[in-house]
Amino acid sequence: MKIGLRIFLGYFVIVALAAFLLMRVFVAEVKPGVRQSMEDTLVDTANVLAELATPDFLGGRINDGEFARRVRALRGRDFGATIWGFGKRGSTYRIYVTDARGIVVFDSNAVDDSGGDIGKDYSRWNDVYLTLRGQYGARSTRSDPRDEASTIMHVAAPIRADDGRIVGVLTVAKPNSAITPFIDRSERVVRRWGLVLLGVALLIGLGVAWWLSRQLGGLRRYAHAVTAGERATLPKAVGEFDELGRALETMRDRLEGKQYVEQYVHTLTHEMKSPLAAIRGSAELLEESDGNAMDAADRRGFATSIRLQSERLAQMIDKLLALANVEYRQRLENPEAIAPAALVAAAAEQCAPRLARDGLTLDTDVPDELPSLQGDVFLLRQALVNLIENAADFSPPRGVIGMRVRAEGQVVRFAVADSGPGVPDYALPRVFERFYSLPRPEGGSRSSGLGLCFVAEVAALHEGRADLRNRDEGGALASLELPVAR
């Protein structure tokens, strides 16, 4: 599982759990909070009504006095109220009064001939039982034992005689269902906004996880490319990721620099053994010939061998330095626009003395309308020079080297063809390897084996490719493909 997905899933679990617990606690507090508020109101109402009912209760007219008449008249009143979008047309209160024994002596539910619960014994109900004993009396009882939503809240207040004795109890009852719409709406609002906040939090988490995954993914791809020995550009990053990337690049530069030097020293010393051995052998023979007869032809031959091997060493060192410069570069620092025709003309001019010395002709076919390239002029010119010189090494005297340039889609292809013997099949996969060289025709000495390797490295640095294959009509065809300027 990718780290971005793991981060997102972890964030999702934490946010979802926090949101669930928050909503659960908040919603769980809504209903008790509203009921507590209603109970507080009922306490005030019960005590106010108890004071108003005291004269009639003490006068023995609680069921037919002024208090009873006004309470029963409440049923006919139209409240005409709208509370936060909910209409309220009448009262939902029930008021009853019990005497000192807990017997009901007034019930607001009594209508016409119906006496309601008058005469019933309520002394066992908590609201009456506790209040008669000087405590706070309240209860919540279901009107239908099977219906949880049928609960009714009862809050009582004492009726006191002039000497302070508790002589009765007035209870105000109100169904909890009266506040259910307010509770339900509050829960819906809480859940709706909770889901909105959860969605926003998840979107933020998704964005953060994507950003972290993108930063880490770029550094991971960069590390894999470096491990594989490929050219890699440090990805753009910010904050700690930028510092981590720069630390990785510094570590890579130092490690690669050390390994690169060790590898090149080892390779160079190995390749220098052969020409140095030839130079030493020729020098020893010349030294031994001081006192012996050696004809001038042999002396010239040994001297020529020393010169050629010395030139080979110098050429090897020069090309090795040029190749090292290309291989160690990870990117083009200051690429510039390049016209293919001008590039071919510069390479042909640089190779003209060598071609004239060997009696060779360079035939170029470069259309005028070619898209521009973007890169390093010196490296690209040197790459074309290497292709031309490689073709010259395998071309017969007075041969013709053909260079053809064409635009093929989004690339420009430089093709250099010779009329030599071609490349053996076993050597085709290795021609771009460092120090790999084939014998030249007519006994010519091997080259440094770095020219085509240089071409391949220049092509890779410019995001192109190099290729070498045999032609059906004879000879070899080397090509360099480069992307057009963006």
Q: CA 109, CA 156: separation in Å to the nearest integer?
A: 17
Burial of 39-51, coded b for 16+ CB within 10 Å and e otherwise, reads: eeebbebbbebbe
Are the C-beta atoms of 156 and 137 separated by less than 8 Å? yes
Radius of gyration of the chain (CA): 51
The yes-or-no verdict on residue 130 having pLDDT over 90 is yes
In DSSP terms, 401 is beta-bridged to 362
CA distance 420 to 399: 9
Q: So what's the architecture of 332-486 in CATH?
A: 2-Layer Sandwich (3.30)
Bridge partners of 88, per DSSP, are: 81
Reply yes or no on whether the pLDDT at 445 is more than 60: no
- Residue predicted with more confidence, 85 or 166: 166
Is 444 in contact with 308 (CB distance < 8 Å)? no
**Exposure of 61 in the CB half-sphere (CA atoms within 13 A):** 9
Tens-digit pLDDT profile for residues 334-388? 788 889 999 999 889 888 888 888 888 999 999 988 898 988 888 888 889 889 9
* pLDDT of the residue at 21: 74
Report the run of H or E that residue 481 belongs to, with start and end: strand 476-483
Indicate whether 482 pLDDT > 80.
yes
Give the CA angle between residues 124, 125, 130 to the nearest 5°. Answer: 90
Beta bridge partners of 97: 106, 170
Amino acid 178 reads A
- pLDDT at res. 450: 72
Domain residue extents for the chain: 3-185, 231-329, 332-486
Q: Look up residue 158 and give its two tokens.
A: 């004492």
Instruction: Evaluate the CA torsion angle 166, 168, 174, 176 in order and state its sign.
Output: positive
pLDDT at 138: 93
Q: Which of 153-157, 240-244, 267-271, 367-371 has the lowest mean pLDDT?
A: 267-271
For residue 415, the number of C-alpha atoms closer than 13 Å in the C-beta half-sphere is 15
CATH fold for the domain made of 3-185: Beta-Lactamase (3.30.450)
State residue 431 phi and psi, 5-degree precision.
Answer: -65, -25
Instruction: Calculate mean pLDDT across residues 193-218.
Output: 78
Tokens in use for 369? Answer: 């309308």
Run of H or E including 105:
strand 104-107
Please name the amino acid found at residue 245. G
Going edge to edge, which strands form the sheet with 361-365?
A: 361-365, 400-408, 411-417, 476-483, 465-470
Give the number of other CB atoms < 10 A from CB of residue 271: 20
Crossing angle of helices 3-58 and 66-73, rounded to 10°: 140
Q: Please compute the mean of the pLDDT values over residues 39-62 and round it to a whole number.
A: 92
Q: Where are the alpha helices (DSSP H) in 59-164?
A: 66-73, 126-132
Confidence at 221, pLDDT banded by 50, 70, 90:
confident
For 231-329, CATH gives 1.10.287.130
pLDDT greater at residue 317 or residue 236? 236
* pLDDT bucket at 415, cuts 50 / 70 / 90: very high
User: For the chain, what's the residue count?
Assistant: 486
- 261/454 Cα distance (integer angstroms): 17
Structural tokens at position 217:
């993914």
Stretch 431-451: mean pLDDT: 69
- Give the Cα separation of 483 and 307 in Å (integer): 42
Q: What is the DSSP letter of 176?
A: G
**3-state SS string over 318-381?**
HHHHHHHHHHHCCCCCCCEEECHHHHHHHHHHHHHHHHHHCCCEEEEECCCCCCCEEECHHHHH
**222 phi/psi in degrees, rounded to 5:** -65, -45
Q: Residue 324's pLDDT is what?
A: 57
Res 260: pLDDT: 47
Greater confidence, 486 or 135?
A: 135
The encoded tokens of residue 249 equal 């690049």
Determine the pLDDT at residue 444: 53
Which of the two residues, 297 and 389, has the higher pLDDT score? 389
Tens of pLDDT, residue by residue over 6-35, are 676 777 777 777 777 776 776 666 677 777
288 pLDDT higher than 80: no
pLDDT per position as a tens digit, 154-189: 999 999 998 999 999 999 999 887 777 777 777 788
Q: Residue 229: pLDDT band by 50, 70, 90 thresholds?
A: low
Contact by Cβ (8 Å): 384, 480: yes
Looking at per-residue confidence, does 85 or 404 come out higher?
404
